Amino acid sequence: MRFLFYTHSIVSDWNHGNAHFLRGIMRELVARGHQAIALEPADGWSRSNLLAEKGSFAIERFRKDFPELMPVTYDAAFDHEAWISDADVVIVHEWTEPDLVARLGRAKAIGARFTLLFHDTHHRAISATQAISALRLEHYDGVLAFGEALRESYLRAGWGKRVFTWHEAADDHLFQPHPEIERSADLIWIGNWGDDERSTEIREFLVDPVHELGLSGTVHGVRYPREALADLAAAGLRYEGWIANADVPKAFAANRITVHIPRRPYRESLPGIPTIRMFEALACGIPLVSAPWSDVERLFRPGTDFLFANTGFEMRHHLRAVLRDADLAASLARSGLETIRSRHTCRHRADELFGVLAECGHRQAADTILAKEAAE
């Protein structure tokens, strides 16, 4: 089958975590013998910022790390109709320009045979409702929403014919433990500043606990304002900026613990949606303590796979306990890894995608599912 993914970027994950998941999904599809092509705007803000910060090295690094992936850039003169003409499946990410979202829908309406899906991995459905409601989704076969709460938002608003929950997950070909690496530092956090959507939480659940416990630690991410960088330095945290996603597993392996700090819009309005870094961290076998969020979909086993800290005081308590108790740390790492491998890899999500396609009437996807079931 020929899959086309309209992405904000597959090459750049600069402040763009969805690239991690789409890379994993595309690699899984290629491994199964399908063709997967990512189309991305040549002037997208993530790609542009990465090039401005790291230069062409970042593009070459992507090609080296993900040689099986096929990115294609487009501009205003790009012939989208030619590219989609022989596609079996077209998946359009939520950051795609509205005019192009509508253009692809019109192609479907006038007889294109591909299955057309819209993919939402952001909180604009509740934080920028007018922008999402203006999108022309009536000709799309379905919507992929990265959490049940987001799916329900689409259903309530009447956006799209069918809406499916399709969580992000870890590419466990990349994200896996590295026991050969010595854990030489206490804590690592990988996360972007996020438009002030979690500035208070970063201070309460990262900066203050690290400072008060006197931990060694590193922060990776982008868009940190000067005041935040000063706070990190005062707490004894090294700030090392953007990190290539392919380097993250070994960075986790060199540290004893990590934290998860969800953005406020998800915690308050879209419960049940962790950041992709939580899936990736657990896949790497590093103990994790999370700031509050509501796991209403029971994705994990809180208290077994990771620890919840509802306050900064609890975060300090849990960090101290895990760092002092090797058995507790090993148990969390083992259980978290078990849950990822049993439920939350890109292989699982690829299977779910074929189920969605079959439900949307895609005959070849249905045949693929039947063949897989017959072989098991």
Class of the domain covering 2-169+346-375: alpha beta
CATH superfamily placement of domain 185-343? Glycogen Phosphorylase B; (3.40.50.2000)
CA-nearest of 165, 170, 168 to 147 is 165
Say whether pLDDT at 194 is over 80: no
Task: Supply the Cα-derived Rg of the chain in whole angstroms.
Answer: 21
Identify the DSSP state of 90: E
Q: Return the percentage of the chain with pLDDT > 90, whole number.
A: 89
Say whether pLDDT at 376 is over 80: no
The beta strands (E) that lie in 216-254 are given as 217-220, 237-239
Q: What's the rounded Cα separation, in Å, for the pair 302 and 334?
A: 13
pLDDT of residue 154: 94
The answer to whether 88 touches 1, Cβ cutoff 8 Å, is: yes
Residue 99: which pLDDT band, with cuts at 50, 70 and 90? very high
Residue 212: which pLDDT band, with cuts at 50, 70 and 90? very high
Q: Is 198 exposed, middle or buried (0-12, 13-18, 19+ CB in 10 A)?
A: buried
Average pLDDT of the chain is 95
Q: What is the distance of C-alpha 110 from the center of its chain? A: 33
For the stretch 58-97, pLDDT in tens is 999 999 999 999 999 999 999 999 999 999 999 999 999 9
Q: What's the rounded Cα separation, in Å, for the pair 143 and 250?
A: 35
pLDDT of residue 32: 97
The answer to whether 175 touches 249, Cβ cutoff 8 Å, is: yes
Q: What's the rounded Cα separation, in Å, for the pair 276 and 178?
A: 19
Place of tokens 């690829």: 350
The beta strands (E) that lie in the chain are given as 2-6, 35-41, 70-74, 89-93, 115-120, 142-145, 163-165, 185-190, 217-220, 237-239, 255-260, 288-290, 307-308
Q: What is the mean predicted confidence (pLDDT) over 4-19? A: 96
Domain residue limits, the chain: 2-169+346-375, 185-343
For the stretch 285-310, pLDDT in tens is 999 999 999 999 999 999 999 999 99
Phi and psi at 307, nearest 5°, equal -115, 140
